[in-house]
Chains A and B, each alone.
Chain A
Amino acid sequence: MPVNYSSLSTSSANWTYIATAAPSAAASFTFSSISGYKKLKIFGYGYGSLASTYWLLQFNSDAGGNYFGSMWGTSIYMSNSVFGLSPSSTYIPVVAGAQGAAFFNFEINNANSTQAYKDGYGTTISTQTPSYAGTTAGIWKSTSAITSMTVTPQSGTVTGNFYLMGQN
């Protein structure tokens, strides 16, 4: 797959606000009809209805094994403090242990590219007892431009305020 990365290395303007999602005991929330941004950033805070669960990020309603993600952090819920997924996982983890207040930030590159895979990285903090702090990274192995992003608790529901920003 030839990728012209020089076309991706250009100066960038400031982040532009796109939309807010405020789920209330929702099984998932989605930002849809996204277009025109080289970078996307999703961030916010909330809490889950169940402890010790992950929040999962997916793009374009793709629930297939097209993701590769991992999470590093400090929590008794993470064996060896590292959570690695297979190269054919079905999501990227963005939050761990979210029954307390959970904050996360995840930034995605090449969002509107139709040549390159989408790679992203972020941070997460949860005040669930014991608290969790970590970093996360992942790849969506698709050359489709991102048109939607969905966050789904691994189980239970999510309540909070989440924001989507874009950059060109």
Chain B
Amino acid sequence: MTRPTILEVNCETQLETVREMNDEEYAKYLADIAAYEAEHPEEDGSVV
């Protein structure tokens, strides 16, 4: 599975940086999804 991205826009240069989440960020992301699914079992838990 491709990891979600992190977007940063530099307001001085207007440069846009898109990167994949690192291991630590991705672990937190998955934990947040798990917490969400536990709290909202009736919702569609699909992830874009």
Contacts and interface: CB of A to CB of B under 8 A. Distances in A.
Interface of A: 18-35, 49-53, 154-157, 159, 164
Contacts of B46: 49
Interface residues of B, number: 27
Given A27-B25, A51-B43, A53-B36, A156 B9 contact: no
A39 B6 CA distance: 25
A26 B43 contact: no
> Secondary structure at chain A's binding surface: helix, strand, loop or mixed?
loop
A52 B40 contact: yes
Contacts of A35: 11-12
A84 to B, nearest CB: 18
A28 B7 contact: yes
Contacts, number: 82
Contacts of B44: 51
B5 A26 contact: yes
Interface string B33-46: 10110001001111
Nearest to B34: A155
Contact of A26 (B6, B11, B33, B45): B6
A28 B22 CA distance: 13
Given A51-B40, A154-B36, A31 B47 contact: no
Interface in B1-48: 4-14, 16, 18, 21, 25, 29, 32-33, 35-36, 40, 43-48
B7 to A, nearest CB: 4
B33 A18 contact: no
Given A26-B18, A50-B40, A157-B48, 20 more contacts: A19-B9, A23-B5, A24-B5, A26-B7, A29-B6, A30-B8, A32-B9, A32-B10, A33-B10, A33-B12, A35-B11, A35-B12, A49-B46, A50-B36, A50-B47, A51-B43, A51-B44, A156-B32, A156-B36, A157-B4
